[in-house]
Structure 1
C-alpha cells in the first residue's frame, strides 16, 4: 500500500509517453471511474473534513491520471480510429449514436461541472481558507487561556494546537486544489475539440475518408472519449463541493441529512399535500405526484407516531414515580441526601444543558480534568464535586458551595460566550465582569464568536467560565477541603514507596490530626504540599523538639523553600520588599506567643501606617506587571503574615532563609517603613 501511490504516479508519466493498447485503456478508464466513485462516497461518509485531509493530494493525482488517459486515448483515436470498447460504448450506446445528442450531453456535463459545481466549490474553499487563517490567532489564544486556567492538560493543548494548524493547512490546500478541478474542466473541452478536428483531418488525409464519414466516425469517438473523462471529473467536482461545504457535525452526510430533513413533521405534511394538489391541475401526470405526496405524508405520520411513543414513555415514567413515592424516601436515601458535600455546584434549570455527556464541553468531564490538574499543582485530591439543579435559582445562575455554604455565584447566559478585551463596544451583548480576575467583558451571542475574535478579544465558552471560577475557589479554600481522610490516603500513598518516613513520624511522634493541621497551614498560604515526603521528613525532625503547630509549619516551609520561591519567581528573579531594619526590630520586640500562635503587639496606628506603606509599594509593583514578596526575619514571618493578610488579600510573606536558600537571584524593589516607602 505504501508503494501504490508512488508507482501510480510513475505509471501516469509512462502513460503520457508510451502508447498503450486499447484493452489497457479500457481497464484504466474503468479504474478512473471507480476511483471517482470511491472518493465521492468517502467524502460523503466522513464526519468532518479533516478526516479526509489527504483529499487535496488525491484530487491532484486523479486529475493527472485523467489527463494521462485523455492523452493516451487521443493517441489511439488519431492513430487507429479506435480507442477501446469503453469509449466506443460511450460514443454509440450512451448517446444513441447521434452526434448532436452526444455534443449536447457533453456540453451539459461541462456546464454543470465548470460553471455550477467548480466555481461554487472554489469560492467556498477560498472563503473557508481565509476565515480559517483569520481565526487562527483567536483559537490559539483560547487554547492558551484554557491551559493557563487549568481546564486542559499540556497534551490536550498540543492536540488542539495541532488540529488548528491542520485545519488551516487543509483549507489552504483545498483553496489551491479547487483550481485543479477548474483546469481539468477546461482541459476536457480543449482535448475534445482537438480530438474532433484532428480526427476529421486524419480520416480525410490518412484514411481516404470523405468529410461525412470522417465526421461520423471521429466525432462519436471524440464525444465518447470526452464523456469518459468528464464523468469522473464531475464526480471529483461533487466530492470537492461536499468536502468544502461540510459544517461542524459528528455524523456523516447521509445520517445528518436524514435526521435534519425529517425533524419537522409539519414540513413533510405540507410538502406532501402540495404534491397531491399539483396532481389536480389539468394535464399534470397524476401517478407521480400522488405517489410522492403519499410517501411524504406517510413519513410525517411515522414521525408523529415516534413522538407519541416518546411522550407516552415520559408519562409512564412520571406515573411510576407518582405511584411509588415511598421508594425514594427510604432511610438510606434520606441519609444520602442529608450528607454534606465538600464541593457543590448548583445550576438553574436552564443551565442543565451544560451537563451533556455527548459534548466535548461537558461540565463533568471538565471537572475531572480540573481535579487532576489541581492534584499535580498543589498536591491534594479534590473531593468529588456534586452537581445539582435548583428551581429556586434565577435563570442563567450558578452557585458554588463549600461544605453546604455558598461562597460564590455567577451568571452563564444561554446561547452566549464571554468575550474579554478592551475593544468590545462594537459587539452586541451584555457587559459583565469576569468573576475570577475582574476583567471587563461582554456576553455576546454564540454566533458572534468569530466576529469577537476578529476584534482581538479572547472568547471563552460558558463551561470554561464556570471551571475557571471553581478552580480559583478550590485554590483559595484548599485548607478547608483537606480532610482527615484525605491526609490518611496521602500518608498511605507515601508509605507504599517510602515507608520509613511515615513509620518514623506517625503515630510515634505526631498524630494524623496534628499532621493535618500542618498541611492545612501550608495550604492556607497557597503553599503546595505535593512534595509530601520532604515535608514529613522535616516534621519528624522538628517534632522531636516541639509539637507547636506554628513551628512545625515553619520547618516544613524551610524543607520545600525552593518550590515556594520558584512559584513567585519570574525569569529566574524573585522581587522582594524588605522592612526597615529599625522597625523590623520593633516588630520582633512586640512578638507574643498565644494559643493561636504568635502575635505582634504594637500600637495599632503604627501598624496601620506600615500596612498602608506595604499596600502602596505592592500596588505600584503590580501596575508594572511584577509579583513582589515581603521578606522578614524567620521568627517574625508567621505573625506578620497573619497581620498583613487581614488587610491585603493574597499577600505573600517569606523569611530570609527561604528566599536565599533557593538559588534564585533576588532583586529588592522597595523598603517598607512605618511612615513612608522607599523605592529600591
Structure 2
C-alpha cells in the first residue's frame, strides 16, 4: 500500500474513531491545530493555483475535511460536558479570540456564522451552479472548436485528445462543485446547532451535576462552547473562502496575486485620482487629515512609479521585438521543417476566407469534419487531416486542392452567388453567369440570392458556395483515397480489430503477409471504390489464400469475391434487372493469352491493334448505356476481371468492372451489348 493511500485512510478512519471513542484533551489540541493547518493549506493552494483543474479533487477534499471537523466538534463537546476541560486550544479561542467575555464571544461567533452563511456560502453556491450550467452548455462549441483547430493544423491529434479530456474534466469538476458547496453550508449549519446544544447541555451539567449557580454555569460553559464554536468555524470559514476563490478564479496564465496587483494598480491615472480624492477628503472634511493626506500621497507616488515602469516596459518590449526580428533574419533557415508534405490541402484566395472563418459565420471547417466522417462510413478508412490555408497568390475567389503537395484540381466560386444546375427537366431557363460545376464539370450558372427561390421552383438544383467546395473536395478524396492510405493507417485499422480478433491477426500478420502487402490489397479495393469497412472479412479471406499466393492483385480478387454482398448492393438493384455489358469469350481468351507473369507481378502484352479495337468496342457499348441514362457496368469471368480493368482504367475513369463471382445469385442481369474484336 502506498504511503499516501495509508495517510488518507488513517485521516478518514480517525474521523470515524473520534465520533465513537472519547479523546484526551492533549490529543484534541493536536488534532485542532492539525485541522487549522489543513484549512490554511487548502486556502493558499486555492489562491495560488493557476487554474481550477490543479485542484480537481477539491470536492472530495471538502467532504473529507467536513467530516473530520465535525468529528472534532463532537469530541470537544464530550470533553466540555464530561470534564469541563476541553484543552488549551478551545480555552484560548474562548478567552482570547472571544475576548474572555460571554457577550463579545457570542457576537464574534454570530458574525462569523452570518459572514459564512450570507456572504461566502451563498455566493459560492450560486457561482458554482451557474458555472456548472454554462460549462455543460459550452461543451459542444468547445468540441467543434477543437475539431476546427485539428483540421486547420493548428494542433495535432495528441493535443486534440488532451483538450477534449480537459473539457471533460472541467465539466466533471464544476458539476461536482455545484453539489460540494452544500457540504460547506451544511457544516456551518451543523456548527451552529452543536453550539446551541453545547450551551444547553453545559448549563444542565453545571447546575444539576456540579451544583454551580446559573450565572457560574453560564460563565464557564458558554465561554468554552463559544471557544469550541470559534475553533471549528474559523477553519470552516477558510474552507468556504477557498471554495469561493476556486469557483471564481479566472486567470490561467499567472498566480492570482500577480493578476490582482496588475489589474488593480497598473493604470497610473486611476491611482492619481484615488490619491487626490483621499487628500481632498482629509482637507475638506473633519476626517483625520494626517492619515488621509499621507495615504493619498502614497497612492500618487505609486502612480508615478507605475507610469515610469510602464514606459520602461514598453521600450524594452520594442527593443526585444526588434532584436527578435533581427535574429530571425540572421538565423539559418530550418530546412527540415520545409520537407513536410501534407496529405491533403485546400488553399483558397482571400475572398473565400469568410467561408472558413467561424467568427464571420463560415461553416467550411464543420463541413470538412463531416467529409472525414462521411468517407469513414462510406469507405471504411480514416481520411488524413485536411489542411485549410489562405493563399494571397490565388485569385480572390479561387481555390485549389492538393494531394501530397501537388495540385490535382481547382475551382472558382462567387462568394455572394449560388450555383444553379439544370437536371434536364426545368420548366423555364433563367439568366445567370455561365460556368461549370467543378466536381463533375457539368454546365451551370451563377445566380443571385433574389433568383434562388425562382430557380428552385423551376426545377434547378441550387447549391451554395461552401457546398460546392465540400462536394468537390469529397470527390477528389474519393478518387485519391488509395494513395492516402499509408502503412501506418493500415496498422491502426488492423489493431482496431485485433482487440476482438487477436487469433486472426496473429495468424495473418506477419506470419503470412506483411503490413505492406495488406496495404496493397486495401489500396486496390479503395481504388475501385470498394469499402474496406468490413476489414474482418477481408483479413479472413487473406488468411485463407495467403498460403497459396502472395500476389496482391490475386488476393484482391479473392477479397472482392468475399465482399460480393457489398458489391452487389453498391452496383445492382434488387427486384429489377440491371443493364450490363458482357465480354466476348474470344476477347477474354486473347486477354488471358497476353498475360505475362514476373516476379514483380503480372502485366498485359496485348498487341496495339487488338487493344485499340477492344477500347473502341467498349466505348461504343458504354455510350449505348449512357444514352439510356444507365451506369456503365461490364461483367467478366473472374480470372479476366483484374486484367480487363487495368486495360480500360486509363480510358474510362468511371467504368465498373465486376466478375460473375462478385454478384449475388438473386441479382437479375440484362445484357444490352457485348465487347468484341
Q: TM-score surpassing 0.5?
A: yes
Compared CA separation, residues 113 and 344, structure 1 to 2 (3 A): same
Residue 19 of structure 1 deviates from its aligned partner by: 2.1
Compared CA separation, residues 319 and 469, structure 1 to 2 (3 A): farther
**Deviations along 1:545-576, whole A, 9 cap, x unmatched?**
xxxxxxx996463154378769x58xxx9554
Residue 183 of structure 1 deviates from its aligned partner by: 1.1
Q: Secondary structure of 2:572's partner?
A: strand
Residue 236 of structure 1 deviates from its aligned partner by: 1.7
Compared CA separation, residues 167 and 94, structure 1 to 2 (3 A): same
Q: Secondary structure of 2:230's partner?
A: helix
Compared CA separation, residues 53 and 75, structure 1 to 2 (3 A): same
Compared CA separation, residues 256 and 639, structure 1 to 2 (3 A): farther
Q: Secondary structure of 1:584's partner?
A: strand
Residue 24 of structure 1 deviates from its aligned partner by: 0.9
**Where do residues 419-434 of structure 1 align in structure 2 (5 Å cutoff)?**
none
**Deviations along 1:122-178, whole A, 9 cap, x unmatched?**
223334444556667888899999999999999999988876666555444333322
Answer yes or no: is the 8 Å Cα contact 2:580–2:671 preserved in 1. yes
Answer yes or no: is the 8 Å Cα contact 1:575–1:669 preserved in 2. no
1:298 aligns with 2:305: yes
1:655 aligns with 2:659: yes
Answer yes or no: is the 8 Å Cα contact 2:579–2:670 preserved in 1. no
Compared CA separation, residues 473 and 27, structure 1 to 2 (3 A): farther
Residue 25 of structure 1 deviates from its aligned partner by: 0.9
Distance of 2:140 and 2:388 partners within structure 1: 34
Q: Select the residue among 617, 620, 630 that pairs with 1:613.
A: 630
Distance of 2:12 and 2:187 partners within structure 1: 17
Q: Select the residue among 108, 113, 120 that pairs with 1:117.
A: 120
Distance of 1:386 and 1:338 partners within structure 2: 16
Answer yes or no: is the 8 Å Cα contact 1:576–1:668 preserved in 2. no
1:203 counterpart residue number? 206
Q: Select the residue among 561, 572, 575 that pairs with 1:577.
A: 572
Answer yes or no: is the 8 Å Cα contact 2:577–2:667 preserved in 1. no
Q: Secondary structure of 2:76's partner?
A: helix
Compared CA separation, residues 298 and 240, structure 1 to 2 (3 A): same
TM-score by length of 1: 0.59
1:288 aligns with 2:288: no
Distance of 1:398 and 1:297 partners within structure 2: 55
Answer yes or no: is the 8 Å Cα contact 2:581–2:672 preserved in 1. no
Residue 309 of structure 1 deviates from its aligned partner by: 1.4
Compared CA separation, residues 80 and 583, structure 1 to 2 (3 A): closer
Task: Tell me which structure has the larger Cα radius of gyration.
Answer: 2
User: For structure 1, which segment, 65-74 or 171-180, has the greater mean C-alpha deviation from structure 2 after superposition?
Assistant: 171-180
Compared CA separation, residues 647 and 33, structure 1 to 2 (3 A): farther
Residue 241 of structure 1 deviates from its aligned partner by: 2.6
Compared CA separation, residues 202 and 480, structure 1 to 2 (3 A): closer
1:71 counterpart residue number? 74
**Where do residues 38-77 of structure 1 align in structure 2 (5 Å cutoff)?**
38-77=41-80
TM-score by length of 2: 0.60
1:486 counterpart residue number? none
Q: Secondary structure of 2:85's partner?
A: coil
Distance of 1:307 and 1:348 partners within structure 2: 36
2:271 counterpart residue number? 272
Q: Which runs of 5+ in 1 are unaligned?
A: 355-362, 414-434, 437-461, 484-496, 506-515, 543-551, 616-628, 661-665, 676-680
Two-structure CA RMSD over aligned residues (Å): 6.2
Q: Select the residue among 220, 227, 238 that pairs with 2:230.
A: 227
Compared CA separation, residues 76 and 501, structure 1 to 2 (3 A): closer
Q: Select the residue among 93, 96, 100 that pairs with 2:99.
A: 96
Distance of 2:612 and 2:263 partners within structure 1: 70
Q: Select the residue among 21, 28, 38 that pairs with 2:24.
A: 21
Q: Secondary structure of 1:3's partner?
A: helix
User: For structure 1, which segment, 207-216 or 267-276, has the greater mean C-alpha deviation from structure 2 after superposition?
Assistant: 207-216
Compared CA separation, residues 260 and 202, structure 1 to 2 (3 A): closer
Residue 272 of structure 1 deviates from its aligned partner by: 1.6
Residue 541 of structure 1 deviates from its aligned partner by: 7.7
Residue 233 of structure 1 deviates from its aligned partner by: 0.8
Answer yes or no: is the 8 Å Cα contact 2:641–2:657 preserved in 1. no
Distance of 2:411 and 2:62 partners within structure 1: 54
Q: Select the residue among 223, 242, 247 that pairs with 1:244.
A: 247
Distance of 1:239 and 1:468 partners within structure 2: 54
Compared CA separation, residues 575 and 26, structure 1 to 2 (3 A): same
**Where do residues 462-611 of structure 1 align in structure 2 (5 Å cutoff)?**
476-478=479-481, 524-526=527-529, 555=554, 557-558=556-557, 560-561=559-560, 576-577=571-572, 583-585=580-582, 594=611, 598=615, 600-602=618-620, 606-610=624-628
**Deviations along 1:563-612, whole A, 9 cap, x unmatched?**
8769x58xxx95541795885337889999537995613266522234x2
**Deviations along 1:214-246, whole A, 9 cap, x unmatched?**
333333222211111011111221232334344
Answer yes or no: is the 8 Å Cα contact 2:578–2:668 preserved in 1. no
1:217 aligns with 2:234: no
Distance of 2:219 and 2:177 partners within structure 1: 41
1:80 aligns with 2:83: yes
Compared CA separation, residues 258 and 145, structure 1 to 2 (3 A): closer
Answer yes or no: is the 8 Å Cα contact 1:637–1:655 preserved in 2. no
Q: Secondary structure of 1:40's partner?
A: helix
Answer yes or no: is the 8 Å Cα contact 1:575–1:668 preserved in 2. no
Q: Secondary structure of 2:582's partner?
A: helix
Distance of 2:203 and 2:6 partners within structure 1: 41
Compared CA separation, residues 194 and 147, structure 1 to 2 (3 A): same
Q: Secondary structure of 2:5's partner?
A: coil
Compared CA separation, residues 157 and 289, structure 1 to 2 (3 A): closer
2:402 counterpart residue number? 401
Compared CA separation, residues 159 and 527, structure 1 to 2 (3 A): farther
Compared CA separation, residues 476 and 308, structure 1 to 2 (3 A): farther
Q: Secondary structure of 2:279's partner?
A: coil
Distance of 1:302 and 1:170 partners within structure 2: 39
**Deviations along 1:175-194, whole A, 9 cap, x unmatched?**
33222211111111122222
1:663 counterpart residue number? none
